[in-house]
């Protein structure tokens, strides 16, 4: 019986001391606070609006690392890549945004503009058709894609 109590006391002592030992060995028992994705998202959006695309990409990458289902962040990421001329990561970002939210009007517009840049008028028109369904009374995204399509046609297909 003495052995049982001695073993129980030893285990109880280890349970109390373990967190302190981890701290003493340099391990922090408290998890790191999550990244402030709202702050990063807002700053990334502002960077996009200011034309600071490298900064926007850096910030939106941080957001999607923490929130991999954030279609808005992927949309802005795609926008920033497209504006820099990086079409492959732009296309991948728009595809991810649309996989997460097939009705994301911004991603449909911006992906449509990317299709125009790549000379894929038929694909841009498919995005336009989806926006017509989503915006029966019209919306800014449809108007902007219509403008881009008209500009592309007027310039012979290159935007």
- pTM equals 0.77
How does residue 25 score in pLDDT terms, banded at 50, 70 and 90? Answer: very low
How does residue 120 score in pLDDT terms, banded at 50, 70 and 90? Answer: very high
What is the CB-side half-sphere exposure of residue 84 using CA atoms within 13 A? 19
Whether the CB-CB separation of 110 and 79 falls below 8 Å is answered with yes
User: 103 vs 123, 132, 133, CA distance in Å?
Assistant: 16, 11, 10
pLDDT in tens, 26-47: 444 544 445 588 999 999 999 9
What ranges do the domains of the chain cover? 53-154
Whether 66 has a pLDDT exceeding 60, the answer reads yes
> What's the CATH fold of domain 53-154?
1.25.40
Whether 99 has a pLDDT exceeding 60, the answer reads yes
Q: What is the DSSP string of 45-110?
A: HHHHHTT-HHHHHHHHHHHHHH-TT-HHHHHHHHHHHHHHT-HHHHHHHHHHHHHH-TT-HHHHHH
Question: If you search the block for the tokens 């299709």, which residue do you land on?
Answer: 115
Higher pLDDT, 8 or 70: 70
Whether 7 has a pLDDT exceeding 90, the answer reads no
């Amino acid at each position: 019986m003495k052995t049982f109590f001695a073993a129980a006391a030893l285990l109880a002592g280890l349970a109390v001391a373990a967190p302190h030992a981890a701290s003493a060995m340099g391990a922090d028992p408290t998890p790191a606070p999550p990244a402030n994705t709202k702050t990063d998202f807002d700053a990334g959006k502002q960077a996009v609006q200011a034309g600071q695309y490298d900064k926007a990409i850096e910030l939106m990458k941080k957001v999607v690392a923490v929130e991999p289902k954030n279609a808005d962040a992927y949309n802005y990421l795609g926008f920033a890549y497209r504006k820099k001329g990086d079409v492959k990561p732009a296309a991948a970002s728009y595809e991810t945004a649309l996989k997460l939210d097939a009705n994301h009007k911004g991603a449909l517009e911006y992906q449509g503009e990317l299709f125009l840049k790549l000379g894929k008028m038929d694909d841009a028109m498919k995005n336009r058709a989806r926006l017509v369904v989503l915006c029966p009374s019209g919306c800014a995204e449809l108007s902007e894609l219509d403008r881009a399509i008209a500009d592309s046609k007027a310039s012979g297909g290159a935007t």
